[in-house]
């Protein structure tokens, strides 16, 4: 259960990171509220997962999922460019996150 919660918390990290960028310094109410709710839920899920999983593993998986999804969404929407090198580096992050799950 902790792994599932951790993965969902990583997804919420991508949500709050994207919403933070779209909030324009907390001047837009919709993205600002989305940021606050997703941030609180993401942190709560991370804290829950850390009750059973090691802190280092939990944090790296949480950040890795959030970072990969944030970059993938930005590339998909055209906000950020995606090159072959960038894609390989993102796949490296994914490989490391999967590896941490396999050795846990």
Tell me: the pLDDT tens digits for 12-56?
A: 999 999 999 999 999 999 999 999 999 999 999 999 999 999 999
CA-nearest of 66, 58, 73 to 94 is 66
First to last CA, the chain: 14
DSSP, collapsed to helix, strand or coil, labels residue 54 as coil
Question: Are 57 and 104 in contact, with CB atoms under 8 Å apart?
Answer: yes
Model confidence, pTM = 0.88
pLDDT at 101: 81
Give the pLDDT mean for 69-93. Answer: 93
């Amino acid at each position: 259960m902790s792994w599932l919660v951790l993965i969902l918390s990583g997804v919420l990290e991508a949500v709050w990171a994207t919403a933070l960028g779209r909030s324009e310094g907390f001047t837009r109410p919709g993205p600002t509220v989305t940021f606050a709710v997703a941030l609180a839920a993401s942190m709560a899920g991370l804290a829950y997962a850390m009750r059973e999983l090691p802190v280092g593993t939990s944090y790296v998986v949480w950040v890795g999922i959030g970072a990969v999804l944030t970059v993938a969404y930005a590339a998909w929407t055209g906000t950020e460019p995606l090159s072959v090198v960038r894609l390989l580096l993102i796949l490296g992050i994914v490989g490391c996150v999967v590896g941490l799950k396999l050795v846990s």
